């Protein structure tokens, strides 16, 4: 039984990596998204989407605590826990959105530093053209979860 669970968990590693990279991108782009109507800005302002991303980060942490090979590769340093930082920041953004208040300047500053704190190869630039596709794909993914998992 454990072997089949291990095998299934290893197949989820690309999804784990993708969710973490997209979360890092969303957070690092938050200063841009707060002032424009750029593609994907809705995701940073939608409480249900942010809550799902937050829950996915919890699941990812549980998976890689159980199966270390599922760990996302985000941090250049082994001492820096990028997943905890992503979780903390996405939680603060979610709280701001739920309370209908603007994201604080300190939080925006912290979010803008994400791209320097995690591996540069895994977090695309906030202005890259492929980001619209990634954010659109996450929107579809969240819609599927809401239809089949929340209903």
pLDDT of residue 75: 64
Cα pseudo-dihedral 91, 23, 40, 131, rounded to 10? 170
pLDDT of residue 123: 46
pLDDT of residue 11: 72
pLDDT of residue 48: 92
pLDDT of residue 73: 77
pLDDT of residue 124: 47
**Strand locations in the chain (E):** none
Distances (CA, A) of 53 to 2, 114, 135: 27, 16, 12
Here the tokens at position 32 are: 């841009």
Low-confidence ranges of the chain (pLDDT < 50): 1-3, 120-131, 150-151
pLDDT of residue 95: 95
């Amino acid at each position: 039984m454990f072997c089949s669970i291990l095998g299934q968990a290893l197949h989820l590693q690309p999804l784990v990596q993708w969710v973490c990279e997209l979360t890092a991108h969303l957070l690092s782009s938050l200063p841009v998204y707060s002032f424009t109507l750029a593609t994907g800005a809705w995701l940073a302002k939608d409480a249900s989407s942010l809550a799902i991303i937050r829950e996915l980060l919890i699941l990812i942490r549980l998976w890689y605590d159980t199966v270390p090979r599922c760990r996302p590769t985000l941090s250049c340093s082994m001492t820096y826990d990028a997943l905890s930082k992503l979780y903390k920041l996405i939680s603060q953004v979610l709280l701001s959105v739920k309370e209908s208040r603007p994201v604080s300047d300190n939080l925006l500053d912290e979010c803008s530093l994400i791209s320097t704190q995690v591996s540069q190869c895994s977090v695309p630039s906030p202005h890259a053209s492929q980001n619209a596709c990634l954010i659109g794909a996450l929107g579809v993914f969240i819609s599927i979860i809401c239809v089949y998992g929340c209903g």
